[in-house]
Amino acid sequence: MQSVQGVLDTLARRWTGELLMAGTEGARRFREYRRAVPGISDRMLTLRLRELETLGLLSRTVVPSTPVQVLYAPTKHAAELLEAVRPLVRWGTQHMAKAGAQVVAPAS
């Protein structure tokens, strides 16, 4: 169980899950992630993207155009992680709602 604590800590932190999803759903640039995740601040976005990069879940590529572009892309690891999380998502969907777990209110 200790071996997942790191993943868990990371995934559970605010914004991380949403960012990962945003990535798989087509977000690539900084502002695309920001648009995809309503409410996140530039600071948190930067922090999370860096963390995900460090964990090997996102790749970061700087395109030296003017203005500069930075492209983020989910790695294979991220895809595998998302797969690994699936059963947990199913479990959550089936059991947590009725247990009174607070589901984050949709923005819209």
Partner DNA sequence: CAGTATCCCCCGAGATACTG
Partner DNA sequence: CAGTATCTCGGGGGATACTG
Is 49 a binder of DNA (CB under 7 A)? Answer: yes
DSSP per-residue string spanning 17-51 = HHHHHHHHTT--BHHHHHHHSTT--HHHHHHHHHH
CB of 31 to a copy of itself, least distance (A): 21
- Asked if residue 67 has a cis previous peptide bond (ω within 30° of 0), the answer is yes
| Number of other CB atoms surrounding residue 75 within 10 Å | 16
Q: Which token pair is 102?
A: 């607070």
Contact letters (x/-) for DNA, 5-24, by CB under 7 A? --------xxx---------
Provide the minimum distance between the beta carbon of 99 and DNA in the complex, in angstroms, as a whole number: 17
Sketch the per residue contact string, 86 through 105, with a copy of itself: x for CB under 8 A, - otherwise. xxxxxxxx-xxx-xxxxxx-
Containing 62, the helix (H) or strand (E) segment is strand 58-63
The verdict on 42 binding DNA (CB under 7 A) reads yes
The residues in 42-81 that bind a copy of itself, with binding defined as CB under 8 A, are 54-56, 77, 80-81
Q: How many residues bind DNA (CB under 7 A)?
A: 19
